[in-house]
Amino acid sequence: MKKISALILCLMLGSFILAGCSEDSAPFEQKEYTADASQIEEIRMDVRDRQIEVVISQDDQIHISYYENSKEAYDIAVSEEHVLTMTSADNKDWTDYIGGKSSAQNRKISLQIPDACLDTLTLSTTNEDISLPALTVTGSINISSNGGDIAFGNLDVGNALELTVKNGNIEGTVTGSYDEFAIQSESKKGESNLPDKKEGGEKTLKVSSNNGDVQIVFENE
């Protein structure tokens, strides 16, 4: 009898916990952030469990569209050095990690930037994909996803491109020729069309993939 009572108590407790983890208890709200692109030289985005989609802005502004609630929010700021940062600022209890994920819409961040307006672009996420269109950056691009894919159009960098994935694939096109880049590539448990190491070139391409494939094409080849 005591065992049955204990089992019932555990089931009731579990029901209360799962009920508290539903989206209804902390509804998401769409937010928009806008910055004057002429005042921004660098963007650093470091988030968790969010898909990041970069698109070309249709005006001279940088736009970030995202969803947040009382448990999952972001810190967005612009420094005196003209660096726009966006970082996760979660306020979760351990019970919030029980149950399913929120909807795909709530887990997506859309970043709109004018072409060729940035010196540096750094994007990092976990358990989701990162996608970029054809884009020019005068300095460097650094993209990282732990648990997702990286896909991109023609990326044109001034000096360096670094791509890192774990349990995901990397696929896209780089503006320029193969000879323009010094290459350092590492691929574990996957296939890659890049050499492990290639010296020479005015620019650098560094690629790391753990448990995923790499397929990068040079536009001028």
Residue 23 neighbours by CB under 8 Å, 6+ apart:
102, 103, 106
Instruction: With a cut of 90, say whether residue 200 has pLDDT above it.
Output: yes
The C-alpha atoms of residue 114 and residue 123 are separated, in whole angstroms, by 16
Closest CA to 118 of 132, 95, 137: 137
Q: Average pLDDT, stretch 82-108?
A: 77
- Bridge partners (DSSP) of residue 15 are none
Closest CA to 150 of 84, 86, 64, 213: 213
pLDDT over 90 for what percent of the chain? Answer: 78
List of long-range contacts for 76-82, beta carbons under 8 Å, 24+ apart: 76/33, 78/35, 78/39, 78/40, 81/41, 81/42, 82/39, 82/40, 82/41, 82/42
Instruction: Read off the pLDDT band of 98 (50, 70, 90).
Output: low
pLDDT value at residue 99? 55
**Bigger pLDDT: 91 vs 96:** 91
The C-alpha atoms of residue 158 and residue 136 are separated, in whole angstroms, by 8
CB 176 within 8 A of CB 197: no
Phi, psi of 14 (to 5 degrees): -65, -40
Candidate from 22-26, 33-37, 52-56, 77-81 with smallest mean pLDDT: 22-26
Instruction: Read off the pLDDT band of 16 (50, 70, 90).
Output: very low
Q: Are strands 61-68 and 108-113 parallel, antiparallel or unpaired?
A: antiparallel
Instruction: With a cut of 60, say whether residue 94 has pLDDT above it.
Output: no
Q: Average pLDDT, stretch 168-197?
A: 97
What would the pLDDT profile of 104-127 be if each residue is shown by its tens digit? Answer: 899 999 999 999 999 999 999 999
Residue 139 neighbours by CB under 8 Å, 6+ apart:
118, 119, 120, 157, 158, 159, 160
DSSP symbol at 139: S
Instruction: With a cut of 90, say whether residue 35 has pLDDT above it.
Output: yes
Q: Average pLDDT, stretch 178-184?
A: 97
pLDDT over 70 for what percent of the chain? Answer: 84
Buried b (16+ CB within 10 A) or exposed e, 68-88: beeebebebeeeeeebbbbeb
Closest CA to 154 of 141, 167, 168: 141
Q: Average pLDDT, stretch 176-187?
A: 97
Residue 126 neighbours by CB under 8 Å, 6+ apart:
48, 49, 145, 146, 147, 148
Q: Average pLDDT, stretch 161-167?
A: 98
pLDDT value at residue 218? 98
